Amino acid sequence: MFGVEEDWLAEPKPRCLVLEDYVGLTPRWCPGCGDHSVLGALQRLARDEQLPPEQTVVVSGIGCSSRFPHYMKTYGFHGLHGRPLPVACGVRARRPDLHLFVVTGDGDCCAIGTAHWIHAIRYNMKMTVLLLDNQIYGLTKAQTSPTSRAGQKSNTHPYGATLEPLNPLTVTLGIANASFVAQTVDWNPPHVYATLREAHRHEGLAFVRILQRCPHYMEGAWDALQRDPTGALLLTHPDGIPVDDAVARTFRNCLEHDPADLKAGRDLAARQDVVPIGLFYRNRAAGRYDQATAAGLGMSASVRLKNVQAQIDRFLI
């Protein structure tokens, strides 16, 4: 109608997203599972950063933690065992506009997904990777995982695991072009939130290992550390994970660590006398493969087809 502004001409109304905008299905994790804490932190982060749900993607593999996409009211991809990272790299390669989170477990990432883990770290494409490490295969009912401690009993090792565990932090810090490596614990929600916020704002791949409780198959595994905070070491630095005084007071031991120091970060990650919490390493200058894959994204369909045909014609005899 003349003289009346049609809906398609109207300016979009400002949005104020609330927590309910990110809450998906009701979680089916066991009561007391650390996954609940991480899910809550991620939902709060999305709200506080006002991430549009239609521009946010959660990718996972297989495992208890990998049910995350079902519980976030965003786009999601529940992939194959060990394959969330190549899926996420594909998403990032063609959609640089999306906010991308990857949720994986110690078996999903550190066993069948090891090769993808290594190369995704090297590619350093912008995404936030959450490794929820409960040191056991939970979904398939208590088998030894790559991060299970030596001597830890499981259904596959009833007399105790025979080998020392793989350390996801030292492995990641040993991969070329790693750019952000941090660790937190699920029973300290403020620190989880602060770590995820810093990871999401990092321009590259942010790898966050979250030590997680499994009350069913690893009951009491972290009780000693929760009762005695001297077993933890909080890493502090102006360029580290920012925490307020209330959170810092929950840690008895603190250490000033510059995350630009890769060697010091590796040494800290390898310590076994304490559990270091915080940012081990950050390199903002690391190369990003997604900046190369973004070339040609604005190409028209006709030009794209012409270029594909030209490449095919190279093989004519």
Residue 267 lies in a domain: yes
Picking from 137, 166, 179, 175, the residue whose alpha carbon sits closest to that of residue 154 is 137
Q: What is the CATH number of the domain that holds 193?
A: 3.40.50.970
Cβ distance 103 to 130 under 8 Å?
yes
User: What size, in residues, is the chain?
Assistant: 317
Residue-wise pLDDT for 253-295, tens only, equals: 999 999 999 999 999 999 999 999 999 999 999 999 999 998 8
Name residue 139's beta-bridge partners: none
Phi, psi of 58 (to 5 degrees): -115, 125
pLDDT mean across residues, the chain: 93
Answer whether residue 2 is part of any domain.
no
Report if residue 19 sits inside a domain.
yes
6 lies in a domain?
Answer: no
Is the pLDDT assigned to residue 249 strictly greater than 50? yes
Place of tokens 């991620």: 42
Contact 152, 161 (CB under 8 A): yes
Say what the pLDDT of residue 1 is: 46
The pairing of beta strand 56-60 with beta strand 99-105: parallel
**In the chain, how many domains are there?**
1
Inform me whether the pLDDT recorded for 163 exceeds 70. Answer: yes
Tell me if 7 is assigned to some domain: no
| Average pLDDT estimate for 228-253 | 93
For residue 154, the enclosing domain spans 13-313
Q: Which of 143, 60, 162, 45 is nearest to 103 (CA)?
A: 60
Does the residue 4 lie in any domain? no
SS3 of the chain: the string is CCCCCCHHHCCCCCCCCCHHHHECCCCCCCCCCCHHHHHHHHHHHHHHCCCCHHHEEEEECCCCHHHHHHHECCEEEECCCCCHHHHHHHHHHHCCCCEEEEEEEHHHHHHHCHHHHHHHHHHCCCEEEEEEECCCECCCCCECCCCCCCCCCCCCCCCCCCCCCCCHHHHHHCCCCCCEEEEEECCCHHHHHHHHHHHHHCCCEEEEEEECCCCCCCCCCCHHHHHCHHHEEEEECCCCCCCCHHHHCCCCCEEECCCCCHHHHHHHHCCCCCEEEEEEEECCCCCCHHHHHCCCCCCCHHHHHHHHHHHHHCCCC
Whether residue 1 lies inside any domain: the answer is: no
Question: Would residue 244 count as lying in a domain?
Answer: yes
- Tell me which residue of 183, 42, 16, 38 sits closest to 99, measured CA to CA: 42
AA letter at 162: T
Mean pLDDT, residues 294-315 taken together:
90
pLDDT digits (tens, 9 = 90+) for 57-98: 999 999 999 999 999 999 999 999 999 999 999 999 999 999
